[in-house]
Every structure is written in structure tokens, then in C-alpha cells.
A and B are shown apart, each in its own frame.
Chain A
Amino acid sequence: MLNVGALNEGFVLDHIEAGKSMTIYHYLHLDKLDCTVAIIKNAVSNKMGRKDIIKVECPIDMLNLDILGFIDHNITVNIIQHGEIVEKKELTLPKKIVNVIKCKNPRCITSIEQELDHIFLLTDPEKEVYRCKYCEEKYRGK
């Protein structure tokens, strides 16, 4: 069993679908944080076979985890304080996503007005469909 040092304060993102950890690394802008980040790929999992894990040592208000619900709401978020798990966060699909994904419709107003926020709204929670607020184009990159 690979052992990466225990956290004092931060997050452990567990049950990430194998191979998705780097996507999450970029969505959470972890590359911009000046703190310790451990990425564990292809760890053995009873539940999933293989999984990825990300450990982030940082103050717990530093990350916006809402976006995780959009990427994969099956991820387990453990919040660590003083070396202990103090909370397991349930992820839900965010109703609105701002400036995380971009509308790719060349006919959308966001394609020519650069200062506009790229806003996607959850239009079908069952099928996890997000559509651009402006042109209603379905986001297909997920």
C-alpha cells in the first residue's frame, strides 16, 4: 500500500474515476496553489477496481468544490482538520456553472464578446445535461 503523508488541514478527494485526477487538478486550479498536492493514480479500490485520489494540504476555505459535483458527483470529499476527518461532503450537481467550461457554439454571443461570463445551467438533472444560458447549446465535453 502506497502511503502519502497524512494531512493536517485540507481535503482528500477519494473515489475519483481512474484517470480523471488530472482533469480535476486543472478544474480546481490546483496548479496555481502554493501548497502540497498529492495525486495518486490507479489505486486499488474494492468498490471501483481502480481509482484516483487527490490530497490537498490547504486551508479548507481555499477551494471551491462545487465544480466537483459537475465533474463527477460520485467523488467522496473528506475534509481534514487537525489530522482528522471532520466532514464527508455530499456532492450534488451545481445548478449553475460560471466560467468553468466554455460554450463551443460558434453562433453564440460568447464567441464574439470576450468579457461575458460563460454560464451553463443544469437543464436536466436526471441526464446531467448542462446548457449555455445564452444559446442553449448542450455542453458535450463531459
Chain B
Amino acid sequence: MRNRFDKELEILNLELIKMGGLIEESIETSAKALINKDLEMAKRVNELEVEIDEMEKTIENHCLKLLLQQQPVASDLRIISTALKMITDMERIGDNAEDIAEISKFLANQKFIKDLVHIPQMAEATISMVKRSVDAFVNKDKELALKVCKDDDVVDNLFQIIKTELIEKIQEDTENGEQAIDLLMIAKYLERIGDHAENIAEWVIFSITGEHRIRGEKI
């Protein structure tokens, strides 16, 4: 009955998977740029950010076209409005990854005041959250989306650990202060990425259930 519309929705899914892939790559590359003090990697994040912005525009235009042409209702309307909300958070994640890459450029010629253990863990956790939130959307998997929301606690805990460690480093030697603040900002950007991934998962739950929870609220 509605082959064309269904095909368009499939294309929308593919576009979101592609944008999700770019974001995962962007977080991963920014973390590598930091850990390996690799300026090329940091530049690559800038390029990815441009691609992510373009992808956001493409998906936004696609969604607006579908709203205009198909006048969707019920699950179709929820899917398209969710896609529109998701890409805003996805684009912000791209910005945050770029912010991390910018700081990593400053740190590239410095000796780290501590081994970077928890920051890579945070990056890994947020990449997984982003990947699963997009998967949950494509597969209409509410349970997976709920897990993503829960996993934000892991990221928040890692942030607290890093913060405590960095305070100790500053207390040990005030010379550590500047780098400690840079590293804290990186951790904060990763914590924000976790929040954006949680937002995405919350919109995915809306697309399935029709109910949008407020952050932290149990469903």
C-alpha cells in the first residue's frame, strides 16, 4: 500500500546509522588524539565535525520533506519527530568531540600529570551508548534504549572519579593545575556526550511508547 513511504523511512534509518557511525568515529578519534598526542587525529576530528553537520542538514531536510509529503500520523509521526530530535543531540556530540580534540592539541607537547585510565574508559562507554541508542531506534528496541539511559550512570561515576583524582593532583603540586583543568574539561565533555546519548535513547523510547520521560524519571 505504501511502498514509497516505507522506502523513505528505510533511507532515514540508513542516514541515522551513517551519522551515528560518524559520531562514534569522532569520539574515538578525539580520544586517540589525546592519548597518543596525535595532531593528525585531532585534525581528522575537525573534518568529521563538518561531515556530521552536513549529515544533520541532510536528515533534517529529509524529515521535513516527509512531514510535508506524507503528513505522517501515529508511529510514523513519532519516528520522524524522534529523528529530528535525535540529530540535534548527535550534532552536539560532534561538537563535544571537536572540543576534546582542540584541547588535545594543547596537550600534545606536554607530559601527562597522570596515566590516562578513566578518560579512555569514558570514551569507550559513550561510544557504546551512542551506538546502542541508534541501534535501538532502528530496531525499535525499547529495552536496549532503557539500558543506554541506565549506562549514563557509569559515565557520570567515571567523571566523579576523574574529578577526585585531578583535585588530588592539584593538591600535590599547583603546577599541575592548568593541565588538570584541561583534563577535567575533557572529562566534562565526555560526560556531556553521555547526557546527549541518554537524550537520544529517551527519544527512542518516545518513538516506541509515545511517552517522553523527563531525565532521571523511571519508566
A pairs with B: no
Interface residues of A (CB under 8 A from B): none
Residues of B within 8 A of A (CB): none
